[in-house]
Homo-oligomer: A and B are copies of this chain.
C-alpha cells in the first residue's frame, strides 16, 4: 500500500510540476502572458504611476492628473464645475451652468476609449536639442501627418504649400499679421475683421502696438480705397459657425479655420487660401497642448512667419509635437471615420437637444443653420457649431448675458465679439456634465418664460 502511495503521490506531484512549468513558461491567459513576458525596464515606474492616477475615482465628475496637488501621497481629484468633495460626488445645488469658455472637453471620452493608442511615453532624454535632425524647429513626421490629415478630412490643400507650427493657433494669428504687414512704419497696415469676431484679433494687435499694423475694426465700416488691409476671415465664424468669404476687395487675408472640421461644419471642399490657420485644440480637443499650424502659399510670407516663431520663442515644445503626432495618428485611423463620427455625433446630439429647448422659446433665439453637402461624410448635413449665438428677443433684454446669468447660465456678452450685448455666446464643447447642466438651466429658463405667458 505504502509503495502505491509513494507512486501515486509522486505522479500527482509530477503532474503539479508539469502544470507549474506550463504556467510559468506559457502563462495562464492573455493578460498574465503580456505581463510576465513584458520586459519593460525604465518606463515601467512612470507607466504604473500614470495608471494609478488614471484609476483614481472622481465619480465621472472630475479627473486626477499626474501633476495635480498631492494629498496623502497621491494627486487629488480636480472636480468639474459645480461638483466638489474628495471624489467630486457632491453637486452644489443651484450652481450656475458655465458655458463661457471654449474648453473642448467634449472629446475626452474618445481619448479615454482609445487610451492604449494615444498614451505617450517621453524619456528623460527625449529631444533635448533645439533642433530636429532635418529641421531647426519642426518635426518632419508631424508635418507629414498634418498634410495627410487635411487630405483625409478634405478641408485644405497642402500640396506645394509651406507649413509652420505655432503655440496654438493664437500665436500664429499675430505671426501672420506681422508677416503680412507693411514694413513701412509711416503707413501701417490696417487690420480688419467682420463682426461678430474672436476678440483675440483685436486684443493681440493692440497688445503688440506695432508701427507696422493697426487695428481698424469692422470690415463693414471700412469704406476707403486703401488696399493695405489684412482681413481676418473666420470660417466657420466664432461665434455663429457660418462659412465665410472675405469682405474687403483687395488686401490680404488670414483664414482662421480653427473650426473648419467635419464635426462642426459640412466641408464643401478643400480650402485653398493664401494663409490658413488650424489648431489641435478644436480638432481633437487638446487645448492644453497648445498646438496650431499655418498653411502658407507664398515663400516670402512663410519665411516671415517662421522668423517670427524663431525669434519669439525658438520654436515650440518638442513634447507637444510628439503628443500631437500620436493624437493625429489615432484621429486618422480608418480614414478618420471613427474619430470624426464620434466628434460629429457628440456635437449633433447636443444641437438636437439645444434646438428642441430653444424651439419652445420666444424670448431667446439662436442662429439659423443651413444644410450643405459635406464632402467628408458624403451627405448633406446641418452644421453643428461649437457655440450657440443667442439673441434675447425682448426689447428690454438688451444685455443678454445678464439675462442668462440671472437664469444661472454663464455665457459671453456680444460685446466680447464686438457685437451688440443683445447677443451672448454659449459654449457647447465643454464636458458632458457642463452641457447637461446647461440644458437643465436653459429648460428652467424657457419653462419659466412659458409659465409667465400662461399667467399673463
A-side residues, CB < 8 A to B, are: 2-3, 6-7, 9-10, 13-14, 16-17, 20-21, 23-24, 31, 34-36, 38-51, 54, 63, 65-70, 78-79, 101, 103-105, 107-108, 111-112, 114-134, 139-142, 166-168, 170-171, 174, 178, 185, 200, 203-204, 207-212, 285-291, 307-308, 311-323, 325-327, 330
Contact, CB under 8 Å: A116 / B312: no
8 Å CB contact of A3 from B6, B45, B122, B317: B6
Contact, CB under 8 Å: B13 / A313: no
Contact, CB under 8 Å: A47 / B40: yes
Contact, CB under 8 Å: B127 / A123: no
Bound-state Cα–Cα, A128 to B431, Å: 11
Write out the residue numbers on chain B whose beta carbons fall within 8 Å of the beta carbon of A204. Answer: 311-312
- Excluding A38-B38, A108-B125, 11 further A-B contacts by CB distance (< 8 Å) are A6-B7, A38-B44, A42-B54, A45-B119, A79-B133, A105-B129, A127-B288, A170-B313, A208-B210, A209-B210, A290-B316
Contact, CB under 8 Å: B116 / A130: no
Bound-state Cα–Cα, A173 to B31, Å: 51
Write out the residue numbers on chain B whose beta carbons fall within 8 Å of the beta carbon of A320. Answer: 317, 319-320
Across the two chains, which residue of chain B brings its CB closest to A315?
B290
Bound-state Cα–Cα, A330 to B16, Å: 47
Across the two chains, which residue of chain B brings its CB closest to A170?
B313
Bound-state Cα–Cα, A223 to B242, Å: 58
Across the two chains, which residue of chain B brings its CB closest to A40?
B47
Write out the residue numbers on chain B whose beta carbons fall within 8 Å of the beta carbon of A20. Answer: 17, 20-21, 24
Of A63, A65, A166, which is in contact with the most chain B CB atoms at under 10 Å from its CB?
Answer: A65
Bound-state Cα–Cα, A207 to B211, Å: 11
Contact, CB under 8 Å: A128 / B104: yes
Write out the residue numbers on chain B whose beta carbons fall within 8 Å of the beta carbon of A21. Answer: 20
Write out the residue numbers on chain B whose beta carbons fall within 8 Å of the beta carbon of A312. Answer: 167, 170-171, 174, 204, 207, 312
8 Å CB contact of A317 from B38, B131, B289: B289
Contact, CB under 8 Å: A290 / B311: no
Write out the residue numbers on chain B whose beta carbons fall within 8 Å of the beta carbon of A130. Answer: 101, 103, 287-288
Q: List 6 A-B contacts (CB under 8 A).
A: A2-B3, A42-B115, A68-B133, A104-B128, A111-B125, A128-B289
* A218 → B minimal CB distance (Å): 20
Contact, CB under 8 Å: A13 / B6: no
Write out the residue numbers on chain B whose beta carbons fall within 8 Å of the beta carbon of A122. Answer: 50, 66, 119-122, 323
Write out the residue numbers on chain B whose beta carbons fall within 8 Å of the beta carbon of A323. Answer: 122, 319
Write out the residue numbers on chain B whose beta carbons fall within 8 Å of the beta carbon of A125. Answer: 63, 108, 111-112, 115
Contact, CB under 8 Å: B50 / A43: yes
Write out the residue numbers on chain B whose beta carbons fall within 8 Å of the beta carbon of A307. Answer: 207
Write out the residue numbers on chain B whose beta carbons fall within 8 Å of the beta carbon of A46. Answer: 47, 116, 119-121
Contact, CB under 8 Å: B121 / A120: yes
Bound-state Cα–Cα, A176 to B190, Å: 27
